[in-house]
Amino acid sequence: MLAALVLVTAILGGTIVYAQASKVTTTYRTALVTYGTITQSIGMAGNLTPVNEADLNFASAGTVQNLYVQVGQTVAAGTALATLDTSLLSAQLQQAQATLDSANAKLSQDRAGPTTQSLTSAENSVGSAQVSMNNAQTSLADTQAINAQAVAVAQAPVTVAQNALTAEQAVQQPTINADNAKLATDQATLAADCLLNATSTLCTTTDPVLVATDKTNLATDNQPIVADQLTLTSAQSALTAATAKAQQSNDQAAAQLASMQQQYSAAKASLYALQTSTSPQTVEMDDAQIQIDQVNVNSMQNQVNGATLTSPIPGIVSQMNIKAGQSVTSGGTTSAIVIFSPGSYDLTGTVSDSQVNLVAVGQSAQVTPAGSTQALLGKITAISPTATVSSGVATFTVTAELTNTSNSIRPGISASADIVTNQVVHVLTVPTSAVHTTAAGSTVTVLVNGLPKSVAVQTGASDPTRIQITSGLQINEVVVIAIVTSSVPSANGASVLGGGGTRGTGGGGGFRAPAGG
């Protein structure tokens, strides 16, 4: 009898059956074949960045003079944001314009030929330019003399301090040398005494006191030299600053003289050209000079215009990386001011190399910002052509632009996205748990007149809950997604301990098969 029971157990795969028969109830969890939509997607995560963002820098170097906005302020396109001090630039622009005007006048004069009035005017220009040049020469000489005196004044304390330091070192050095020698001797004595007897009075008290006293004496003897050295360093710093300031002043005066010399030479050349016959070559040279001077004016005008930062877009000030009085250079890697337009954002994330071929520009994406339960519609706008490899793992950058956003989103907020790679609409679908796939193919169990029947099917797209059926089933057929068996006590008290079937993930009603005897 026991052998028979074991055999039955093996055949039924774990279901134990007593000799007394009992009734077993089989319940099928079912679902209908219905029309539905299957959406397949790939997930990615990243941060939302504004589509319209202006990273602004001054087009010229200078000192920040005015700031007209602050972080968080809303601005319109064309709003002035900040300006540089344009005093020097404006003067240079005026000079460049004057040079251009002079070149144009010379061309007109050369084409018209010399007149008494033009000759007089040219001679006056030469005289005026010479006076300006002489004044600049005098100013340069005066400036150099004043600056030389300032440097000499700054040099005097350096000399005094250096002499004092040298004298102090001569006086103190023998004492310092003696201090160092005594300190070395006492330290050697301490080491020797402690080596002989670490607990002796010499090791613990007498010798350490001598060494400490030596160090104190050495520090005291060094103090005058240290004080003189600090005085010398301070005087040298003042001399360096005075020298740099003097050189800058001399350079500016020299540049002014060079400019006046150039104007004087140009005035003499103009006079000479008037005094001689005007040739076609002279007119051509005049034209060439005008073009050069016009380029210079345009360049200076661009620098003056670039000294004012204006917002090219309407938006909100998100960054202010400058302050009044700060010196800035043209360009730069850090933006002076950043403006963004709210309401339009990109999400940039990555997908794996095994998924990138499933993603295409124009595909839809459902983007959910952090802290939100409502997904926003977007579309894929860019896919990097090459991978980024980190620790042997290749990923591709993908950008999705949100087509439905709101002004409440803040730049930089994290978000997740589901990229829709495939979607089929109004197709026959069943829960994924209803389909059983092996190497031989896919099958579905259907109930026909209350009895299960295996049917071969062809499948298509699938998502986590449902799968498309392309052939083998019809609408409203009943499919089995799980089988649950249970034992029912017999009249004489015997029972069957039944094994349960696999629970599916889909929904559906239940169907109870007729009880067996």
For the stretch 173-197, what's the b/e string if a residue is b when 16 or more beta carbons lie within 10 angstroms of its beta carbon? eeebeebeebbeebbebbeebbeee
Q: Calculate mean pLDDT across residues 385-402.
A: 94
Q: Read off the DSSP letter of residue 202.
A: I
pLDDT at residue 507, rounded to an integer: 41
Contact (Cβ atoms closer than 8 angstroms) between residue 311 and residue 286: no
Type of residue numbered 234: S
Q: For domain 53-85+307-337, say whether CATH 3.40.1000.10 is its number.
A: no
pLDDT in tens, 209-248: 888 898 898 888 888 888 888 988 988 898 898 898 989 9
pLDDT at residue 515, rounded to an integer: 40
| Residue 414 CB neighbours (<10 A) | 12
H-type helices in 350-436, by residue range? none
At 437, give phi and psi (nearest 5°).
Answer: -115, 130
Mean pLDDT for the chain?
83
Res 474 pLDDT > 50: yes
Q: What's the angle, vertex CA 147, arms to CA 141 and CA 153, rounded to 5?
A: 140
Res 509 pLDDT > 50: no
DSSP line for 400-420: EEESS--TTPPTT-EEEEEEE
Terminal alpha carbon distance of the chain: 21
Contact (Cβ atoms closer than 8 angstroms) between residue 359 and residue 41: no
Q: Calculate mean pLDDT across residues 490-498.
A: 42
pLDDT at residue 288, rounded to an integer: 93
Distances (CA, A) of 416 to 464, 480, 508: 18, 35, 32
Res 426 pLDDT > 90: yes
Flag the least confident range among 142-146, 259-263, 302-306: 302-306
Q: Give me the percent of the chain exceeding a pLDDT of 70.
A: 87
Q: How far apart are CA 102 and CA 266, in angstroms?
A: 9
Domain ranges within the chain, ordered by starting residue: 2-37+426-512, 53-85+307-337, 126-277
Q: Calculate mean pLDDT across residues 392-398.
A: 95
Res 492 pLDDT > 60: no
Q: How far from chain centre, in Å, is Cα 28?
A: 58
Q: Calculate mean pLDDT across residues 28-50.
A: 92
Flag the least confident range among 38-42, 254-258, 408-412: 408-412
The answer to whether 2-37+426-512 and 53-85+307-337 have equal CATH topology is no
Class of domain 2-37+426-512 as given by CATH: mainly beta
Q: How far apart are CA 27 and CA 504, in angstroms?
A: 13
pLDDT at residue 516, rounded to an integer: 41
pLDDT in tens, 287-340: 899 999 999 989 888 888 878 889 999 989 989 999 988 888 876 778 889 998
pLDDT in tens, 54-81: 889 888 888 898 899 999 899 999 899 9
CATH of domain 126-277: 1.10.287
